[in-house]
Structure 1
């Protein structure tokens, strides 16, 4: 869960984005100062670095999930080796097992507020 100070930096970044102003540490700090919000000095720096060269629209519409960078194309080969095929299959199985585990955890009954 985010702290109040982190949320203040997020809101400042969103204000800057909405006004089409570059999201820099100084701009974030200026908004925080104007709002009379005190945060540790490192937070505006971290947020500015984190959001540098990012498409804020994509971040907003991704629901918080940041896309991984595109994989670099592997060296071209005429035929994939059988070892690579097996590894891909193993990776796919792992991902499916993890997905099932997460779904099971989500379905787990944690009890209700009024259960007696």
Structure 2
């Protein structure tokens, strides 16, 4: 978002981003994040947002430790390293058992061309 001009944002993106910045200002000042305080900052800064945005943000952030949320922005859960490899190994060991049970058909039909898959057999 930092490289995007404010004028190129949609109304919803502008409103959301304005509320984010207002909430960060309140947090930096050590103040409680309420709908009234968000609205006051937005009005003072000259930003007009839909009336539901400040209430939405205040309710979403109520009781949240914003400092902890901000410090964990880059932290994400990662998948266990061996799970995909183990799944592939298990599937590979079970596959021969399934193939042994299948009987081959008496005759196989020979199919030529691409069967008009992409609109014609011409190459």
TM-score tier after normalising by the smaller chain length: 0.5 to 0.7
For the 8 Å contact 1:59–1:66, the answer to whether it is kept is no
Find out whether 1:59 has 2:76 as its counterpart.
no
* Cα distance in structure 1, aligned partners of 2:75 and 2:36: 26
Q: Which structure has the highest helix share of the two?
A: 1
Q: What count of residue pairs does the alignment treat as equivalent?
A: 71
Runs of 4+ in 1 over 6 A off after TM superposition: 64-67
Q: What does residue 42 of structure 1 align with? A: 52
Q: What does residue 24 of structure 1 align with? A: 34
Task: Show CA shifts across 1:57-108 (max 9, x none).
Answer: 11101117799xxxxxxxxxxxxxxxxxxxxxxxx99xx45xxxxxxxxxxx
For the 8 Å contact 1:9–1:43, the answer to whether it is kept is yes
Residue 3 of structure 1 is aligned with which of 6, 13, 17? Answer: 13
Larger relative contact order (Cα-Cα within 8 Å, sequence gap ≥ 6) = 1
Normalising by structure 2, report the TM-score. Answer: 0.51
Deviation of the 1:30 alpha carbon: 0.2
* Cα distance in structure 2, aligned partners of 1:37 and 1:30: 10
Normalising by structure 1, report the TM-score. Answer: 0.54
* Cα distance in structure 2, aligned partners of 1:66 and 1:33: 35
Residue correspondence of structure 1 range 82-97 to structure 2 within 5 A: 96-97=83-84
* Cα distance in structure 2, aligned partners of 1:37 and 1:58: 28
For the 8 Å contact 1:9–1:28, the answer to whether it is kept is yes
Secondary structure at the aligned position of 2:31 is classed as coil
* Cα distance in structure 2, aligned partners of 1:65 and 1:26: 32
* Higher Cα Rg, which structure: 2
Task: Show CA shifts across 1:33-55 (max 9, x none).
Answer: 00010100000000000000000
Mark the runs of 5 or more structure 1 residues left unpaired by the alignment.
Answer: 68-91, 98-116
